[in-house]
Amino acid sequence: MIAMKSADVEIGQVGAVRYKGESSHATHVGVQWLSKVGQDAEGSPAYGLRLFTVGPAGEIPIHNHTYVQTMYIVSGKFECWAFDPDTDKMIDKRICGQGDMVYIPSLEPHGMRNLSETEPGQFLCCICTLDAPAVCPG
């Protein structure tokens, strides 16, 4: 067992996100890996739990990835987007706040932004993948 305070976990900055071979930059987004992906002795699926802090008016632009993810909004309000993978047009826009959850299927183009101009927002993000080294090398 490992027990620790989330405040003791290093905060990394989210830089570029990729979509269709192009890079875009996330703005004012920090991430803490609360757990790392990998198979355990019982054969549990690879997963990771991350805590994101998105600064005022911070944004994660359109991107996608092979893993599925579930986000749980801890604080703040976010505008969450889903895009058509063929046209890149926004097909869904939701306002999500504390206590809401958002599920993103594998390869679905998505993004989000913090709606507050003055306060950060946070969300937990659990990811699951069969290709663990691609998500968290090492």
- Contact between residue 60 and residue 112 where contact means Cβ atoms under 8 Å apart: yes
Q: What is the pLDDT of residue 95?
A: 98
pTM as predicted: 0.86
For 24-37, write each residue's pLDDT tens digit: 999 999 999 888 65
Q: What is the pLDDT of residue 79?
A: 98
Q: What is the pLDDT of residue 131?
A: 56
**Contacts with 34 (C-beta within 8 Å, 6 or more apart), sequence order:** 6, 9, 49, 50, 51, 124
**Contacts with 46 (C-beta within 8 Å, 6 or more apart), sequence order:** 37, 38, 39, 128, 129, 130, 131, 132, 135
Pick the CATH number of 10-135 from 3.40.50.800, 3.40.50.1970, 2.60.120.10, 1.10.1660.10: 2.60.120.10
Sequence ranges of the domains in the chain:
10-135
Q: ∠ at Cα 26 (22, 28), nearest 5°? A: 165
For 52-74, write each residue's pLDDT tens digit: 999 999 999 999 998 889 999 99
